[in-house]
């Protein structure tokens, strides 16, 4: 049974990798995957604290977030397809119409 601290540290690592991926990687698909990483880091936190407090509220939240993530991926991938059709690329550094 891993300790509470170890779980929280893993969650922290996962989240950090997700943030770094979102901020650094150029490929939209990778960015979306990193977003999933961050969501799952949050899920891990929720489950860990649920076990620590002995209630099921946190676990219920985690289930809800998974469902939400599935919906989010569907929308996100649809946006990526639309983007590709429009700009012929999925590299975010080449999509800079908002440049001032």
Partner 1 sequence: MIMQSTVSSALSLPIHSSVLWLIPFLPLFGAILNGATGRWVKSSKLVDAIALGSVALSFLLVLCCFARLLGQAPENRSVNQTLWTWFDLGGAHVLGGVTQNTMAWAYKFDPLSGAMALLVTGVGFLIHLFSTGYMGEERNNGTYYRFMAYLNLFVFSMLNLVLGANMIIMFLGWEGVGLCSYLLIGFYFEKEFCAIAGKKAFVTNRIGDFGFLVGFFLIFMVFGATDFDTLMGMTRGILAMPQITLFGITHAPTWWFNLIGCCLFLGACGKSAQIPLYVWLPDAMAGPTPVSALIHAATMVTSGLYMITRMNFIYINAPVALTLVLCIGSLTALVAASMGLAQYDIKKVLAYSTVSQLGFMFMGMGAGAFSAGMFHVFTHAFFKAALFLGSGSVILACHHEQDMRNLGGLRKHMPWTFASMGIATLAIAGIFPFSGFFSKDEILWKVFEGWYAGGSVLSLAAWIMGMVAAFMTAFYMVRLMVMTFFGEYRGAGHSDPYGLTVPSEVAHHAAHDDGHGHHEVHVPSEVPWNMWLPVAILAALALIGGFLNIPHSLHWIGSSHFTAWITPLLFQTGPHVHEAVPAMEYLLMAVATLVWAPGAMALAWWFYGADPTWSKPKAFVQRFPVLFRWVNAKYYVDEFYEAAFIGPCKQLGAQLWAFDSLAVDGMVNGAARFTLLAGHASHWFDAKIVDGLVNLVAWILQQVSLGFRKFQSGRVQNYAFVMFLGFLVFAFWKFLA
3-state helix, strand, coil in the chain (%, to 5): 80, 0, 15
Taking CB under 8 A as the criterion, the residue among 4, 6, 13, 24 binding partner 1 is 24
Q: Which residues, other chains included, contact 41 with Cβ-Cβ below 8 Å and sequence gap of 6+? A: 11, 12, 14, 15, 18
How many residues touch partner 1 (CB under 8 A)?
12
Judge contact between 28 and 48, C-beta under 8 A: no
State in angstroms the smallest separation of the CB of 20 from partner 1: 10
Query: Which residue, 19 or 65, has its beta carbon nearer to partner 1?
Result: 19
Taking CB under 8 A as the criterion, the residue among 10, 22, 32, 90 binding partner 1 is 22
By CB atoms closer than 10 A (0-12, 13-18, 19+), residue 100 is exposed
The answer to the question of residue 98 lying near partner 1 (CB under 8 A) is: yes
Taking CB under 8 A as the criterion, the residue among 13, 29, 74, 95 binding partner 1 is 95
* Binding positions for partner 1, rule: CB under 8 A: 19, 22-24, 92-93, 95-100
């Amino acid at each position: 049974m891993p300790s509470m601290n170890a779980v929280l540290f893993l969650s922290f690592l996962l989240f950090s990798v997700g943030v770094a991926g979102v901020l650094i990687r150029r490929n939209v698909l990778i960015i979306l995957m990193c977003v999933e990483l961050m969501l799952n880091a949050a899920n891990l936190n929720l489950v860990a604290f649920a076990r620590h407090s002995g209630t099921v509220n946190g676990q219920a939240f985690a289930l809800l977030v998974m469902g939400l993530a599935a919906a989010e991926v569907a929308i996100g991938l649809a946006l990526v397809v639309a983007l590709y059709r429009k700009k012929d690329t999925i590299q975010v550094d080449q999509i800079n119409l908002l440049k001032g």
